[in-house]
Amino acid sequence: MSQEIVLEVEDLSVDINVPSGTLHAVSNLSLHVKKGETLCIVGESGCGKSIASLAIMNLLPRRASLTAKTLVLEGRDLLDLSEKEFANLRGDRIGMIFQDPMTSLNPVFRIGNQLEEVYMEHGKGNRKEARERAEYLLEKVGIVAPKERLSQYPHQLSGGLRQRMMIAMTLMCDPALIIADEPTTALDVTMQAQTLNLLRSLQKEFNAGLILITHDLGVVARMADRVMVMYAGYAVETGTAIEVFDNPNHPYTQGLLDCIPVPGRREPGSKLGSIRGIVPALVGDIKGCTFRNRCDFSTKQCEEEIVALKELSKDRAFRCILTPEERETTKQNPGTTQ
């Protein structure tokens, strides 16, 4: 069963002008999302995941500039579009869910109003139709008594309900692509699982592509069909969730997995794995691999160049000079370099 590709991105780079030079926020990023598929972009702060999503939506700050070989949504070339055309796309073909529902909603407008506005602004119908759809979607996201909720204000809802409302708002125009940036980070743990469940089932039902951006590897493992690990602006590993989690190919991915406390996995009282060093400043031209200062396996060559993604199979790639097997031998014979 071949699914349609909703979003195709090739060689996306974002540079930002800062006082001390040029910040390479995103470098040579390529990805694609199919209908009904969940792609999780995972990385820590500063890796560029949020900027990448803003780039796709043309919401970059003024000092940022974007270059890409391909940026196509539902067959439409986004690189060509004017801001007005982009504004039409947002909310209609692309829906976005942010981390903090309180600041994404306008506190002075009723919920019904905000939901209906999205629908009508994109010319999908009149107010009556908008209201019906809003009610329908609120019920779908599991909000009891949707009619009453429509006339309430955001502050009258709890955090979990607000996030569900955001999901409903995203679905008003039946988008082809949903971008969710840390949608459950601000929620309580018990709400998190429920909200993610909801997001997943609705995504499947509406057959939308979902890009889920998060730093939480647990969320990634459970939600993702495919995973992209980002570090310092680069994609360092891609693959299906099972491939990446069971067989991480990049030392950073491996390092991250070692860092997380997992119930039952370890002797309590023992240390967590850690990645030494800190994220480098991304300003100016960095020679070589951005991870090398923190990598236990870096070689002389790593200082010279940053390699392209090595494809192991379709949609499975990683960006490292050494293969996992070669790293194993280096571990066993320390001191040997490439």
Partner 1 sequence: MNQLNPQSNNGNIPALECRNVSQTFMIKSGMFAEKKPLKAVEGVNLSVNRGEVIAIVGESGCGKTTLAKMLLGLLPPTTGEILLDGIPINSVSILDIARKVQPVFQDPYSSLNPRKTLESIISLPLKVHNIGTEIERKGRVEEYMRLVGLPNRLIHSYPNQLSGGQRQRVAIARALIMEPKIIVCDEPTSALDVSVQAHILNLLQDLRKKLNLTYAFISHDLAVVEHLADWVAVMYLGRLIEFGKATDVFRDPKHPYTQALLESVLTPDASLGLPEITLGRGLPNPLSPPSGCYFHPRCPKSSAECSEKSPLLKREKNYLVECHLYN
Partner 2 sequence: MLNLTTESSEHSQTDEFEITVPSPPELMKRRAKSHLGFILGGSVVLFALIIAIFAPLLAPFDPYDQDLTRRLVQPIWHPTGTWKHPFGTDALGRDYLSRVMFGSQVSLMIGFFAAIISAVVGSTIGMMGGYFGGRTDNFIMYLINVKLALPGLLVALSLVSVFGGSIVALIIILSFLFWDRYAVVTRSITQQIRVNDYITAAQALGASRARIILGEVLPNVMNQIIVIASLEMAVAIIIEAALSFLGLGIQPPTPSWGLLVSEGRSFMFFKPYLIVLPGVAIFFLVISINMMGDGIRDITAPEGRN
Residues near partner 1 (CB under 8 A) = 44-45, 142, 144, 158-160, 188-190, 192-194, 196-197, 200, 215-224, 240-242, 244-246, 255-257, 259-264, 266, 268-269, 271-275, 278
| CB half-sphere exposure, 320, CA atoms < 13 A | 29
- Residue 277 lies near partner 2 (rule: CB under 8 A): yes
Nearer to partner 2, 155 or 271 (CB): 271
Contact partner at residue 34 from partner 1, partner 2, none, CB < 5 to 8 Å by partner kind: none
Q: CB of residue 281 vs partner 1: minimum separation in angstroms?
A: 11
Selection from 207, 266, 192, 239 nearest residue 42 by Cα: 239
- 75 phi-psi bin (left φ>0, alpha ψ -120 to 50, beta other): left
Nearer to partner 2, 148 or 258 (CB): 258
Candidate ranges 98-106, 152-160, 213-221, 272-280; the one touching partner 2 (CB under 8 A): 272-280
Selection from 75, 98, 78, 97 nearest residue 86 by Cα: 78
Residue 125 contacts by C-beta under 8 Å, 6 or more apart in sequence?
Answer: 119, 133
Q: Is 308 exposed, middle or buried (0-12, 13-18, 19+ CB in 10 A)?
A: exposed
Q: CB of residue 78 vs partner 1: minimum separation in angstroms?
A: 30
What would the x/- binding string for partner 2 be over residues 176 to 205, using CB under 8 A? ------------------------------
What would the x/- binding string for partner 2 be over residues 9 to 28, using CB under 8 A? -----------x--------
- Cβ 278 vs Cβ 21: under 8 Å: no
Phi, psi of 324 (to 5 degrees): -55, -35
* Contact residues: partner 2, CB under 8 A: 20, 274, 276-278, 281, 283, 293
